[in-house]
Structure 1
């Protein structure tokens, strides 16, 4: 595979819904009451805690039972597709509040054709000494104040220079960071000797990443230096990595697997969860109330959830699409993508939906070097998927610098220290994420 290639799940007729239901449980509802009321509706629901130590049984709960209850978040996934049965559960039982359809989610990357053309042009420019970008269709953007152009060098790849990560000594040491994705190429030489904990939530598939997307995102978040050259590419090179395989080797998952991975990460004590996954939404679509509630609960328990804004836009064609699910939830930090010239990526989704769905912050997301699956071991990809683990890695740096801060305080610090970018907040949020500086004092 060419290292400049970008993976993307074909978007044509992607299914949106699995046929299952997510159900929000009433605050304080006991498992005993939940079980009794579910039985009255002829449903058998398994508590997630009963399967925490046995992966095979845990996965069977999704496939063979009527559903599973994620006790920590107060959310159930109901396998039954009988509408009357669901209504009798939600509208006639005190332990069940409301329901939403379960969605499919996908690994998020920029479109392959766009990135290949862009890289080919830049290669020709380097060969013939041309410095200008190719002309683009449509009106020219309004002029903005010049910003630095970030470059790769022998010390680090451009994304880390954009973060100002080399201006401090923070590496995320001692911080538990979870990457929920397609798994991890566990034998990657750059991770030898690192503390990596993993678990698969995809039936029939081990954590081993035959896709590459998860390995790439993990490398951006917590990778170290490239073997052979020593150039740095990971933001938090000493953080403890927790890998939850919630997307299949084809890059496809569902809400139930995502929830399982999130609950596992919180139970493991992870303070940051990075999710480079999502599902497209339409304009004027409300965010998932269930995801928003559980993300708020996660923050109350000390875990910040960071997710990719999505890659549905085609800005050079005048098309900007709304932030994807679940990043469009107000309690999830949504990340847009910038290129090395601090311009918004052509594919990066925008904050179009007034009721939630904002871009909160931006990270490097175009032509990003990171780890990859065997035998290649490295690749250069583009997408809000790449921007998201940069933000997660910086979050781990902040937690190393300020170990006592809460998840909500961590959110505030990420925004407060971001570098302003003269672009609409709709596209880049508060600005470009920045590593903590040594001179910072706890607020």
Structure 2
């Protein structure tokens, strides 16, 4: 009898010799799910006829590192390789691991609705979208879409075909475009999240303030939808702008884009005049707030290289979808520098737009809702983002491509709020239905598990206890600090102590 049959004592084995007979007797054994790999290895190791047994480990290609000159400064793509991030935390979007799977597709188009973009930039020109149905130099509207000579898109601000006007006017859009899709591994400057992609430029912002009208934003979105309907594989819009009031017309246009199979990625916004980020669940900011009601909208907050929410970044548990790098982001610029770092949620949004481009290059059948759900469910939870945004974490290109939720971490408390009747704590690693809140080592009663704070890895970012006034007064004496911990009985893990007090 074959050794696998006797040793493993299960049906359905298959044996494949891995060595020549004169080189030993190493076999690859396949068996049915009745026996786990771990059980099979242990059983085989106990058999005296078996010299050794081990799993058939899965191997992965080494992380893909591009040769672009400024890649070492691009902490948002790979913090461990960054000269500036210092690998203080992961903080990046796991781009190098994602590039082992795909670097994008030259068939996929991302529309940059922004200021203009200098698509003649040496790191952008190979990835510039060219309208295949238009002769750009004949003064005619060849494709009959109402726009004459629209080679790379359209300038709705100046009402002409020239999507690039000047370095001062179009710096913002050029920088955004580079983060999405600067050519990768070409030995020049920076790299985009998607090395292979086509960039459509739709200018509606301009002037000294970089502003534009809602009407022109709607025209730009409608242009994208029309191109999609004409056969252009445009699947993503990046909208690194906001600040307007709620517009039904704009919302309808974004919804129409979703119905056409287009994902709308937008900046969460940079707060008010004070320079501090706002909770846009309370102080609305559009179009970011549409992410709460439209399933093709992904609004993006900004983090720094330490995985902290940027001080200027808006947030909102119901209105901001996910976070991405947005501080000191190197990308293409249209002036003599050619490359420069800029900060803002405008820089965070194109990181996610680039991830979406990779996802749709790898799996074109995904719907906008599926894309959004995958990005949320595979985000890496962080303490700084716990309960502050939908995902409570940072977008991961690798996790999104492999549809792999983040690992469940140990419980950590980041914030606590005590009222007369209840205790609310935020953090990561809380287990739905089983986590216990402890006050100075004593379990508190009445723990509530709110599924609206559920994360893709099966954990929660918020726990509440409503034991009533009497218990709150007893366990939280006024003005006295106590130590809170969260204990997960199923794993035996307990959070570090978190000191708080009721005043």
Whether the TM-score (by the shorter chain) exceeds 0.5 is yes
Q: Does 1:165 align with 2:95?
A: yes
Greater mean alpha carbon deviation, residues 181-190 or residues 430-439: 430-439
Alpha-carbon contact 1:190-1:223 (below 8 Å) kept:
yes
Alpha-carbon contact 1:209-1:373 (below 8 Å) kept:
no
Q: Which aligned pairs between 1:388-403 and structure 2 lie closer than 5 A?
A: 388-403=349-364
Alpha-carbon contact 1:391-1:433 (below 8 Å) kept:
yes
Q: Does 1:351 align with 2:283?
A: no
Q: Which aligned pairs between 1:29-428 and structure 2 lie closer than 5 A?
A: 152-153=82-83, 162-169=92-99, 170-173=102-105, 174-196=107-129, 197-203=152-158, 206-210=162-166, 211=169, 212-225=171-184, 230=188, 232-250=190-208, 251-269=210-228, 270-279=234-243, 287-312=246-271, 322-329=283-290, 330-331=293-294, 332-351=297-316, 358-425=319-386, 427-428=388-389
CA distance in 2, matches of 1:276, 1:248: 13
The structural deviation recorded for 1:296 is: 2.4
Alpha-carbon contact 1:180-1:273 (below 8 Å) kept:
yes
CA distance in 2, matches of 1:179, 1:160: 28
CA distance in 2, matches of 1:439, 1:404: 13
CA distance in 1, matches of 2:400, 2:347: 26
The structural deviation recorded for 1:176 is: 1.2
The structural deviation recorded for 1:290 is: 3.5
1:107-152 per-residue CA deviation (whole Å, 9 max, x = no partner) reads xxxxxxxxxxxxxxxxxxxxxxxxxxxxxxxxxxxxxxxxx96562
The structural deviation recorded for 1:278 is: 1.0
What SS does the aligned partner of 2:299 have? strand
CA distance in 1, matches of 2:217, 2:89: 27
CA distance in 2, matches of 1:370, 1:158: 22
What SS does the aligned partner of 1:190 have? coil
Alpha-carbon contact 2:302-2:323 (below 8 Å) kept:
yes
1:375-428 per-residue CA deviation (whole Å, 9 max, x = no partner) reads 221111000000001110000111012111111111111112211122345644
Larger Rg: 2
What SS does the aligned partner of 2:384 have? coil
The structural deviation recorded for 1:239 is: 1.0
Alpha-carbon contact 2:221-2:253 (below 8 Å) kept:
no
CA distance in 2, matches of 1:317, 1:278: 15
Closer/same/farther in 2, CA of residues 323 and 418 from structure 1, 3 Å limit = farther
Which structure 1 residue ranges, 4+ long, deviate > 4 Å from structure 2?
A: 148-151, 157-161, 229-232, 313-321
CA distance in 2, matches of 1:428, 1:369: 25
1:179-207 per-residue CA deviation (whole Å, 9 max, x = no partner) reads 10111112211123324222111125631
Alpha-carbon contact 1:222-1:234 (below 8 Å) kept:
yes
Structure 2 equivalent of residue 144 of structure 1: none
Alpha-carbon contact 2:325-2:348 (below 8 Å) kept:
yes
Alpha-carbon contact 1:181-1:276 (below 8 Å) kept:
yes
CA distance in 1, matches of 2:275, 2:335: 35
CA distance in 2, matches of 1:342, 1:389: 18
Alpha-carbon contact 1:313-1:346 (below 8 Å) kept:
no
**Ranges in structure 1 where 5+ consecutive residues have no aligned partner:** 1-147, 282-286
Closer/same/farther in 2, CA of residues 323 and 308 from structure 1, 3 Å limit = farther
The structural deviation recorded for 1:442 is: 11
**Ranges in structure 2 where 5+ consecutive residues have no aligned partner:** 1-77, 130-151, 229-233, 406-503
Alpha-carbon contact 2:91-2:307 (below 8 Å) kept:
no
Q: Number of aligned pairs?
A: 286
Alpha-carbon contact 1:361-1:432 (below 8 Å) kept:
yes
RMSD: 3.4
Q: 1:435 is matched with which residue: 397, 401, 409? A: 397
